[in-house]
Structure 1
Amino acid sequence: MAIEPTPKPYRPRIPARLAYPLHAVLATNRVYRWLAAFVERQPRLYRWFTAGERITKERLFGCRMCGQCALPATGYACPMTCPKQLRNGPCGGVSADGSCEVDRTLRCVWLTAWDRAESASRGADLDLLQRPVDHRQWTRSSWLNYWQGRDEGLAITFSDADPYPPMRVR
């Protein structure tokens, strides 16, 4: 899959109130872990599975296949569709009318994320700090990474006792 040079904010096609329960159906369990391991051992099946994921998530959420999906933490508005690819909130250039600094004809992805998270009573999810994107994961299946537990630690929270927790290195 070719990555477009400049991402464009994308308006998700399904409401957040539907996306959150759908995510619960896809939650990691023994069957999905087995399926992920099986798919990863079969190169042709992996390509088909990843293509299906790409088509589905691209049409529903504007997914760019970063391999480290943050949709559940951003009201199901993909932060990678931000022209600056900011994963931790809007830049300082959002205009008063909510338009994107890079393309004033488009709405800021993060305002969309906020509206969607709030509509599903999940506004606190936006407080999670997302780690930087590992560009080695581009075009990889985030579903398989999720089911295999490889995306644990993508988001961190700070506690009063340890304001700067170390990053885990695997």
Structure 2
Amino acid sequence: MRLFAVRHSRAFEWFYTRFESALVALDPLFRRVGYGRLERPVAAVEKLTKGLLFDCRMCGQCVLSSTGMSCPMNCPKNLRNGPCGGVRAGGFCEVKPDMRCVWVLAWDGASRMRGGSRINDVQPPADRSLEGSSSWLRVAREKAARPDAPSDAPRSAIARAFPQARDHEPASAPLAPEPASATDRESRR
């Protein structure tokens, strides 16, 4: 079913845009009932729906609309910002050779979407404390609280900061400078 969602990512994008607007419009009702009371039943429906359609892992921070309707949490390495570099020939996963790489599927799905360029946005690391919670309710609450903010404000802030960080720290992983005592051969004698 996951491949169906990727192949029809444009239709899912269209539906999700309207569904998200409806959730934001329902915020006053959600507040009256209480987000805490709604969490369990909505998370159960979300898990069933998104599990069936996208093989969702319920990370609580859904980025399907930015990743071509391919859930990045299906990656055995849980990579949220692109493939690991070990993608096998034909676009298969290096860890699970019989599975298509989640990110190959994501690029395919994003290429079909109007907002497909959002796949280039840098995603923050997964907050494991949100696992199992409803990202639908989180989106409704956050967007209703900031109606004039762009929908991708946190993501685009990270994406804007990333190139500047790379200018200052060009290594693939930030490296701390070696202490003088470790590099000074005279001090070891």
TM-score range, shorter chain: 0.7 to 0.9
Structure 2 residue aligned with 1:46, among 21, 39, 42?
39
Q: How many residues align?
A: 152
CA shift in 2, pair 1:152/1:146, >3 Å: farther
Q: CA deviation at 1:137?
A: 0.2
Higher helix share: 2
Structure 2 match to 1:158? 160
SS of 1:98 mapped into structure 2: coil
Report deviation, 1:133.
0.5
- Give the TM-score normalised by structure 1: 0.79
CA distance in 1, matches of 2:49, 2:76: 21
Matched residue of 1:157: which SS? helix
1:70 pairs with 2:72: no
Q: Among 7, 13, 22, which residue is 2:4 paired with?
A: 13
Q: Give SS of 1:27's match.
A: helix
- In structure 2, relative to structure 1, the CA distance for the partners of 1:36 and 1:128 (3 Å cut) is farther
Unaligned runs of 5+ in 1: 1-9, 165-170
Distance across 2 between alignment mates of 1:35 and 1:134: 27
CA distance in 2, matches of 1:121, 1:28: 17
Displacement of 1:40 in angstroms is 1.5
Question: Residue 28 of structure 2 aligns with which residue?
Answer: 34
**TM-score, length-normalised on structure 2?**
0.72
Secondary structure (helix, strand or coil) at the match of 1:131 reads: coil
Match 2:91 to one of 85, 92, 98: 98
Match of 2:138 in 1: 145
Call closer, same or farther: CA 1:51–1:154 in 2, change over 3 Å. Answer: farther
